[in-house]
A = this chain, B = another copy of it.
Amino acid sequence: MDVPAPRHLNARKRPRQARSAVTVDAIFEATIQVLLAEGVHRLTTTRVAERAGVSVGTMYQYFPHKQALLYALNERYLDRLADRIEAVCLSHHGRPTAAMVAALIEAYWDAKTERSDVTRVLYSSAVELDNEALIEAFAHRMDKATAAMLATAPNAAYANLDLVNATLLSVIFGTVRNVFERNLPAKAQAAIRKQLVAMCLTYLEGAGG
């Protein structure tokens, strides 16, 4: 995200040497591990440090407090996710609308599902975190990526691309999350996913695509 974090969530210092970059990454990974193994309410600075193989003090060199760590972790996650979706969108410029929709849904769905346990704990770690800026930045990147893609569809003539695009994203992202949280069996998930693709495609066609 190219949006500045709330000041109070900024890192204390940026890693300058190679070893500290390694440390910071280990801390991120350790955070996820602890979240997976113990849950948010047992996510302790000490536990994270221990799992990362460093001392608490070291953690506090890079994150002024626990919240900043969680903020940075979510930032990293959303950045990577946005990268993936953007790449898929770019690779589908000029393709038929049907291919676009299918690819978009597949990419997002897979990204969320392939490590559903991680997705879950990241959601939980974001609660009680002032991450509106993060979410908005992510949404904005997605908006731009998909709008640009849709605009290149052959025979596309959307009356109001922005609204259609926003609706499409809310529906896709929302549905994935809902299915995900209900923890439906894989078969049911796949069936709904297929329906979702068809539904979105029909919607776009009706809207001028």
* Residues of chain A having any CB pair with chain B under 8 Å: 39-41, 123-124, 127-128, 132, 135-136, 139, 163-164, 166-167, 170-171, 173-179, 181-183, 188, 191-192, 195-196, 198-199, 202-203, 206
Contact = CB atoms under 8 A, between A and B. Distances in A.
Nearest to A207: B195
10 contacts: A40-B128, A127-B127, A163-B191, A166-B191, A167-B199, A171-B171, A171-B196, A174-B175, A174-B179, A177-B178
Contacts of A176: 174
B182 A178 contact: no
Main secondary structure of the interface of A (DSSP, over half): helix
Nearest to A199: B203
A179 B188 CA distance: 24
Most buried by B among A124, A195, A202: A195
B163 A171 contact: no
A166 B188 contact: yes
A192 B162 CA distance: 11
Nearest to A181: B135
Given A40-B127, A166-B192, A177-B177, 10 more contacts: A123-B127, A132-B183, A167-B196, A170-B178, A170-B192, A171-B196, A173-B174, A174-B174, A174-B178, A198-B203
A123 B181 CA distance: 12
A75 to B, nearest CB: 17
* 8 nearest A-B pairs in the assembled complex, by CB-CB distance: A174-B174, A174-B178, A174-B175, A167-B195, A170-B178, A199-B203, A124-B127, A127-B127
Most buried by B among A40, A127, A191: A127
